[in-house]
Amino acid sequence: MHNSSGDGPESPAAVNGAFCVWLMGLSASGKTTLAQLLAQALARRGFKVEVLDGDIMRTTLSKGLGFTSGDRVTNLRRIAAMAQNLVHQQVVTIVAAICPYHEIREEVRATIGKYIEVYLNCPLEVCISRDPKGLYRQALAGEIQHFTGIDDVFDTPVRPDIEVTTHGEAPEASLARILRKLADLRHIAAEPAAPPEPIGETTVPPQLTRRLAR
C-alpha cells in the first residue's frame, strides 16, 4: 500500500472520504502505468492508496478464472467487493482492469458507491502495435480465444467521469488531466495540501535535537 502521511485527522482521505478510481480500457492501453503514477501522486498528497490490478488479481483473488463473459463478470464483482471494502476503510483504491461490458460497469459503480470511471481511450491498432505481452499476436493467430478487441467485445464507455487519450499524450499528461478532474469533482484538493502547522508547540529540527541531547 502507498501511504505517505498516516491516518490522523489531517489526512485528506479522512476529511473528504476515500474513493475508487477505476481505470478501464483495452489491454495495453496504459492502465497499469497510469495506476502506478496516480497511486504515487495521491500518496504524495497524504492519501492511503491501494492498487488493484487485473493482471495481479487474476493470480490471487481471481486465480483460475478465464475470459468468458461469465468469468470476467465474476472477476470484476470480486474486485468491486474488495474495492468497496477498502474505500469503506478510507483507502483510496485504484483499479486497473479492462471491465469491458456496460452492465458490469453499472454494477461495480453501484457496489462501490464513490466511484470515478476513467476511460483510457487508445485505438486498437495502437494497442496491437504495443503488444507488450505478445497476447495480441497470439489472439490474432487464433492461439488464444475471447481476447478483448479481437474476438471479444469492448463496449465503448458512454459516460465516463474522465476520458484520457493514452496514445496522443505522455502518461504524465494523462495523470495531470485525471488529477485536475479529481480536484474539479472535489475528491482531492486543487493543490497538494501543505503540511499541518504544529499547534501550541515549537518544532525542533532533528539536527538541533541531536545537538541539544549531547
The residues binding ligand ADX (CB under 6 A) are 27, 54-55, 58, 67, 72, 75-76, 97-100, 133, 135, 144, 146-148
Q: Residue 80 or residue 188: which is nearer to ligand ADX going by CB?
A: 80
Dihedral sign for Cα 184, 186, 107, 175, please.
Answer: positive
The DSSP output letter for 152 is: B
Q: Taking CB positions, which residue lies at the least distance from ligand ADX?
A: 54
Nearest distance from C-beta of residue 200 to ligand ADX, angstroms: 50
Nearest distance from C-beta of residue 11 to ligand ADX, angstroms: 30
Nearest distance from C-beta of residue 14 to ligand ADX, angstroms: 30
Q: Residue 17 or residue 71: which is nearer to ligand ADX going by CB?
A: 71
Q: Residue 55 or residue 184: which is nearer to ligand ADX going by CB?
A: 55
Q: At what angle do helices 171-184 and 31-44 cross, to 10 degrees?
A: 50
Nearest distance from C-beta of residue 32 to ligand ADX, angstroms: 8
Instruction: Return the beta strands (E) in the chain as ranges.
Output: 2-3, 20-24, 48-53, 92-96, 115-121, 162-165
Instruction: Return the beta strands (E) in 72-191 as ranges.
Output: 92-96, 115-121, 162-165
Q: Residue 60 or residue 202: which is nearer to ligand ADX going by CB?
A: 60
Nearest distance from C-beta of residue 181 to ligand ADX, angstroms: 22
The DSSP output letter for 200 is: S
Backbone angles phi, psi at 58, to 5 degrees: -75, -10
Q: Is 143 exposed, middle or buried (0-12, 13-18, 19+ CB in 10 A)?
A: exposed
Nearest distance from C-beta of residue 124 to ligand ADX, angstroms: 12
C-alpha 117/C-alpha 138 separation (Å) is: 29
C-alpha 183/C-alpha 171 separation (Å) is: 18
Radius of gyration of the chain (CA): 20
